[in-house]
Amino acid sequence: MSYPDVRLRRLRRSAAIRRLVEETRVAPAELVLPLFVKEGLTEPRAISSMPGAVQHSRESLRKAAHEAVRAGVGGLMLYGVPTDDHKDETGSQGLAPDGILNVAISDVIAEVGDSTVVMSDLCLDEFTSHGHCGVLADDGSVDNDATLALYARMGVAQATAGAHMVGTSGMMDGQVGAVRKALDAANFQDTSILAYAAKYAGAFYGPFREAVESSLQGDRRQYQQDPGNAREALRETDLDIAEGADVVMVKPAMPYLDIITRLRDRVDIPIAAYQVSGEYAMIEAAAANNWIDRERAILESLTSIKRAGAQIILTYWATEAAQLLRARY
């Protein structure tokens, strides 16, 4: 059968029918809110390239965490921003129990307990004076294996502070296995690992660099993936799962929807996607110019990421989107 007997418009004619046949719905519990906390702040500070997002003080971080939980958000991903004098060659403040990120993890756990999933960024870039995700070898390249030893200790420091899940985002070979081994040896068998499995070296992290006051000169192409490579993402993911990843993530999200779908077809562990700072900034900037409808664009972008196959979405709109979605369904 075909037209005129078949008319697909029949199922689009009213809001009620469209709702009945809607294939993809995003739920608040699938959203994870990334949050920045800056050492020494007493008031939150705006991030100019991420309108609406802020660097939090310890106090305002607790409030934002509380608000996200009230909206039904499924998780929080914490990033610490140390003062400049607390950055060094090896990123030692990332490991220190009184480093800003570890302190913030404890603060948030004290605020929200087990009512949401508290995650922390397990990477050195916010804490190193050169801004790279690991320690440097004599030739200036990032030393993979020396970095693993630090990630292992950093993972234990974050678990000790109370993190439920650590996000290995540095793209060092072997990082998931090194962190898993260290967590298990320290009796943190139940702390889970969100592996940034397919993380691409691209232009969409620009606003994040402002948000964390990154010291990076140059780029991360020696460790993050080339944007044109899809099959390589499968290898990255297989290795992370073999090393003990509990969840695998694709990042950024919208420019890499095909990668999300390929992982969905291939693996049976939860798949996350990170709608990164540049994706956020593009929609905010276009909406500020009245070029697109902001709320519709936000929800459409999240729906597309879910439709591609991600069941967890990290997004800076998590709290607001959760509120919008609750009003809708």
329: Cα within 13 Å, side-chain hemisphere: 14
Is 199 an active-site residue? yes
Residues 6+ apart with CB under 8 A from 82: 39, 93, 99, 100, 126, 127
Task: Summarize as ranges the residues that interact with ligand PBG (CB under 6 A).
Answer: 121, 123, 125, 169, 205, 208, 220, 276-277
Nearer to ligand PBG, 276 or 310 (CB): 276
E runs forming strands in the chain: 31-38, 45-46, 54-56, 75-81, 117-122, 165-168, 192-199, 247-251, 271-274, 312-314
Geometric angle at alpha carbon 261, from 169 and 292, rounded to 5°: 85
Nearer to ligand PBG, 209 or 266 (CB): 209
Residues 6+ apart with CB under 8 A from 45: 38, 54, 55
Give me the residue whose beta carbon is nearest to ligand PBG: 208
Nearer to ligand PBG, 123 or 176 (CB): 123
Q: How far apart are CA 56 and CA 63, in angstroms?
A: 10
E runs forming strands in 100-256: 117-122, 165-168, 192-199, 247-251
Q: Tokens representing 51?
A: 């309108």
Q: What is the DSSP letter of 148?
A: H
CB of 211 to ligand PBG, least distance (A): 8
Task: Pick the catalytic residue from 63, 87, 181, 199.
Answer: 199
CB of 11 to ligand PBG, least distance (A): 37
Is 38 an active-site residue? no
Picking from 320, 313, 302, the residue whose alpha carbon sits closest to that of residue 30 is 313
Nearer to ligand PBG, 128 or 191 (CB): 128
Whether residue 227 is preceded by a cis peptide bond, meaning omega within 30 degrees of 0, is no
Nearer to ligand PBG, 28 or 202 (CB): 202
| Catalytic residue numbers, as ranges | 199, 251
